[in-house]
Each structure stands twice: as structure tokens, then as C-alpha cells.
């Protein structure tokens, strides 16, 4: 099902047509299940057909104008090294015990890089390509942390315009109706471009028809929510440098729980915290009131006690007056009067020492 250019152009028109059409609307009504852009493109890599000629690397270099490589593309000794994608190579081929694996951006259905990007510099396009906008990029490199395939690279040695680099699925060429550079040049048809949905079917057809030749697994069909690049191989994928423990949960799903707790905190924390504050304030107020009441009570009790004592004293004095002998009555009266006078003086002067009070009086005079 390798498609010719004309056929491909037909697909393209169809894809661009339906995305703006009505067909997609019904799908969008469900907000729980997203199937990706219908009729988006992808590439199937049949590892059993790959001969490790590095032609795809060369084409990629030409298309993306990546400059002269360190070692020429006809030098096949580099295949034995463990290479990854970087700013100079958007795709690399590695050899594992005679089996070749090609690495480039897999163009996830739910891209981790796009989910991670805090300036929307990555976008899943309707063609299937995950495209990067350098003009927005701050250079935080969270996309590189997020990418499960370790694909994006950074131009660390550029002081002024550093950027993230990765395969574009030759998005500009697709728009022009051309095939991606690597697909176009592949001499063995190990790379097949087409609609992703068709490629999944093709992959399973090959696996089913030659079940002794292939592992029963289409890599990329479900990995991390599915990718636009799909792989079939004759050996387990973890033996050719592809991780099989990535799971099928897409990146936005992995973070949706934590993201969902954010608005709930904003919604409930003001209520909770203001409530705690109000309770603490009320407790303070009650404590203050209780303290004030206690102080007032103490004052009241003291005053009452004093009044009582005064009354008793008065009583006693009256009694004494009544029972006193005439002489003593006079004496006592004089003494009482004198005492009262002194007391009055003392209370006028407050707590002051009587001696001081007297001297003060003298000075006043």
C-alpha cells in the first residue's frame, strides 16, 4: 500500500476537507474520548526491510539544511554507535545485532511536548505532524523532560537564538504535496507514508500474513496514547532500543489529575482559610471578653468587700458611741473626727506617703 504521489495528493485534499467539514462535529461533542485528527498522516517503518543504508539520514539532512555531517553518510561504521537525535540529526539509524531501528520524532497523537509546553510552542497539526514554533519558545526544555522517546534536542551552544530541534514530519513538504524526505528516498520501501488509520491496518495485515517473520506488536499503535509513526519488527522492540514499558496513557492524561486539583484549591482554600481565620478571631474575642469579665468581677468583689467592711466599721463605731461613758464619748468623738480627717487627707493624696503629702501641702501654702 505504498502510495504514489497522486494518490497521496488525493488523501491530502480529503484530509484538509473533512477537518473543516461537518463530519468532525459529532465527534467533538464528546469531551471524554478524543480519537485524534481523522485522516491524519503517519509513517510505518518495517524494520525487517531496513538495510541500514543511512539514505534517510542524508535526505533528512538535505531537506532540513542541517549542514555537513561529522562523518559522511556513506560511512556505515557509525551504525554501531548508540546515537540519538540532536540538532545536527533529526533522524538516526542504529544497529542492534544486525537489526536496524530508525529514530525520529514519533509525532504522538497526544504529544507530551505539547502538553508540557507552557507557551504553546508545540502543536499537533491536522496533517499529523507535531510542529514547533521557535518564536514562542522560552527554552525551558520541559518538552525534553516530558518526551518519553527522548527526541527533542536543544542547541545549547547558541547564546542568542537557542531552540528545540526535532523532526517535523516534513510538514512544509506535506503541505506542498510532497512525501517526507526520508520516505521518499528509502530504496527498500521500509518506510511507508499514508493515513495513520490505513497504516495500522497495513501493519496488522503484514504481521498476520507473515506471523513467523514479525513480532505480534505494532509499536506506536497504543504507546503513550498512540503515535503517527508506527513500527513493526522481527525482534522484540526492547532489543532494538525501543522502550516497551511506556504504557498507553497519554501525556495529558498523566497530568490531568494534578491539573484538576488546581482550580479546586482556588475554589475551596478561600473558604477554608477565611473560616479558620474567623474561628481564630472569634476565639480571641471570646478570650478577651472573658478576661475583661474576670477583671470586672474581681473589681466588683473587691469593692463589695470594702463597702461591707466600711459598713461594719460604721456599725461598730455607732455601738461604741452608744455604750461609751460620757467622757469617753467626747474623747472618742474627737479622736474619730481627727482620724477621719487624716484618712480623707491620705485618700486625697492617693498612695503618696503621708510625710510627702504633708510637705507638699506646706509647699502649696
Residues 215-254 that bind another protein (CB under 8 A): 225, 243, 245-247, 249-254
Binding another protein (rule: CB under 8 A), the pick from 17, 156, 211, 318 is 156
In the Cβ-directed half-sphere of 186, how many Cα atoms lie within 13 Å? 23
∠ CA(91), CA(93), CA(97), 5° rounding? Answer: 160
Neighbouring residues of 346: CB distance < 8 A, sequence distance ≥ 6 = 354, 357
∠ CA(346), CA(348), CA(350), 5° rounding? Answer: 70
User: How many Cβ atoms sit within 10 Å of the Cβ of residue 186?
Assistant: 25
Binding mask 85-104 for another protein (x = CB under 8 A): xx------------------
Binding another protein (rule: CB under 8 A), the pick from 187, 189, 210, 277 is 277
Neighbouring residues of 77: CB distance < 8 A, sequence distance ≥ 6 = 71
Helix/strand/coil for 220: coil
- DSSP track, 91-140: -EEEEETTEEEEES---BSS-HHHHH-TT--EEE-TTS-EEE-TTT----
Binding another protein (rule: CB under 8 A), the pick from 161, 216, 322, 347 is 161
Contact 90, 208 (CB under 8 A): no
Binding another protein (rule: CB under 8 A), the pick from 66, 73, 79, 141 is 141
Could you give phi then psi for residue 101, rounded to 5 degrees? -130, 135
Query: Between residues 84 and 314, which has the closer beta carbon with respect to another protein?
Result: 84
Nearest by Cα to 207 from 3, 42, 48, 2: 48
Query: Between residues 253 and 342, which has the closer beta carbon with respect to another protein?
Result: 253
Q: How many residues bind another protein (CB under 8 A)?
A: 84
Query: Between residues 156 and 316, which has the closer beta carbon with respect to another protein?
Result: 156
Query: Between residues 276 and 344, which has the closer beta carbon with respect to another protein?
Result: 276
Binding another protein (rule: CB under 8 A), the pick from 3, 11, 16, 24 is 24
Nearest by Cα to 223 from 251, 202, 203: 251
Give the footprint of another protein on residues 28-57 (CB under 8 A).
28, 31, 34-38
Q: Does 105 bind another protein (CB under 8 A)?
A: no
Nearest by Cα to 38 from 49, 50, 25: 25
Q: Does 142 bind another protein (CB under 8 A)?
A: yes
Q: Does 271 bind another protein (CB under 8 A)?
A: yes
- By DSSP bridging, strand 41-46 and strand 191-195 are antiparallel
- Part in contact with another protein (CB under 8 A); list of ranges 142-150, 167-175, 187-195, 315-323: 142-150
Binding another protein (rule: CB under 8 A), the pick from 47, 91, 115, 227 is 115
- Part in contact with another protein (CB under 8 A); list of ranges 95-103, 133-141, 182-190, 315-323: 133-141
Q: Does 67 bind another protein (CB under 8 A)?
A: no
Burial of 162 (0-12, 13-18, 19+ CB in 10 A): middle
Query: Between residues 153 and 182, which has the closer beta carbon with respect to another protein?
Result: 153
Query: How many angstroms from the chain centroid is the CA of residue 55?
Result: 41
Per DSSP, 191 falls in state E
Q: Does 263 bind another protein (CB under 8 A)?
A: yes
Q: Does 83 bind another protein (CB under 8 A)?
A: no
Give the footprint of another protein on residues 284-323 (CB under 8 A).
284
Could you give phi then psi for residue 245, rounded to 5 degrees? -105, 25
- Part in contact with another protein (CB under 8 A); list of ranges 78-86, 90-98, 213-221, 309-317: 78-86
Q: Does 117 bind another protein (CB under 8 A)?
A: yes
Binding mask 4-23 for another protein (x = CB under 8 A): ---------------x----
Q: What distance in Å separates the CA atoms of residue 219 and residue 46, rounded to the nearest whole number?
A: 11
Q: From the CB of 159, what's the least distance to another protein, in Å?
A: 4
Q: From the CB of 316, what's the least distance to another protein, in Å?
A: 48
Amino acid at each position: 500500500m505504498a502510495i504514489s504521489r497522486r494518490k497521496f495528493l488525493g488523501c491530502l485534499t480529503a484530509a484538509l476537507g473533512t477537518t473543516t467539514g461537518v463530519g468532525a462535529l459529532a465527534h467533538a461533542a464528546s469531551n471524554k474520548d478524543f480519537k485524534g485528527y481523522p485522516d491524519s498522516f503517519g509513517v510505518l517503518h518495517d524494520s525487517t526491510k531496513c538495510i541500514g543504508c543511512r539514505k534517510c539520514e542524508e535526505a533528512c539532512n538535505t531537506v532540513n539544511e542541517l549542514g555537513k555531517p561529522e562523518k559522511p553518510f556513506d560511512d556505515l561504521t557509525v551504525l554501531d554507535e548508540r546515537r540519538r537525535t540532536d540538532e545536527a540529526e533529526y533522524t538516526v539509524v542504529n544497529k542492534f545485532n544486525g537489526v536496524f531501528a530508525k529514530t525520529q520524532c514519533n509525532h504522538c497523537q497526544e504529544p507530551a511536548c505539547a502538553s508540557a509546553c507552557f507557551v504553546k510552542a508545540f502543536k499537533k497539526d491536522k496533517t499529523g505532524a507535531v510542529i514547533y514554533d521557535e518564536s514562542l519558545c522560552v527554552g525551558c526544555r520541559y518538552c525534553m523532560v516530558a518526551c518519553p522517546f527522548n527526541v527533542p534536542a536543544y542547541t545549547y551552544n547558541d547564546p542568542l537564538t537557542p531552540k528545540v530541534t526535532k523532526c517535523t514530519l516534513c510538514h512544509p513538504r506535506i503541505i506542498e504535496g510532497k512525501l517526507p524526505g526520508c520516505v521518499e528516498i528509502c530504496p527498500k520501501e521500509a518506510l511507508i507514508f499514508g493515513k495513520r488509520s490505513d497504516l495500522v491496518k497495513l501493519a496488522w495485515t503484514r504481521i498476520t500474513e507473515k506471523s513467523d517473520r514479525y513480532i505480534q506488536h505494532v509499536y506506536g499503535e497504543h504507546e503513550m496514547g498512540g503515535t503517527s509513526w508506527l513500527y513493526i519488527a522481527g525482534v522484540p522492540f526492547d532489543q532494538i532500543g525501543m522502550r516497551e514499558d511506556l504504557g498507553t496513557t497519554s501525556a495529558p492524561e498523566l497530568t490531568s489529575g494534578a491539573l484538576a486539583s488546581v482550580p479546586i484549591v482556588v475554589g475551596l482554600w478561600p473558604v477554608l482559610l477565611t473560616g479558620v481565620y474567623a474561628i481564630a478571631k472569634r476565639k480571641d474575642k471570646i478570650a478577651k471578653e472573658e478576661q475583661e469579665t474576670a477583671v470586672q468581677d474581681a473589681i466588683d468583689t473587691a469593692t463589695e468587700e470594702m463597702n461591707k467592711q466600711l459598713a461594719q466599721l460604721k456599725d461598730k463605731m455607732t455601738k461604741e458611741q452608744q455604750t461609751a461613758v460620757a467622757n469617753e464619748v467626747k474623747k472618742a468623738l474627737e479622736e474619730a473626727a481627727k482620724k477621719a480627717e487624716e484618712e480623707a487627707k491620705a485618700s486625697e493624696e492617693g498612695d503618696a506617703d503621708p510625710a510627702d503629702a504633708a510637705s507638699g501641702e506646706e509647699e502649696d501654702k
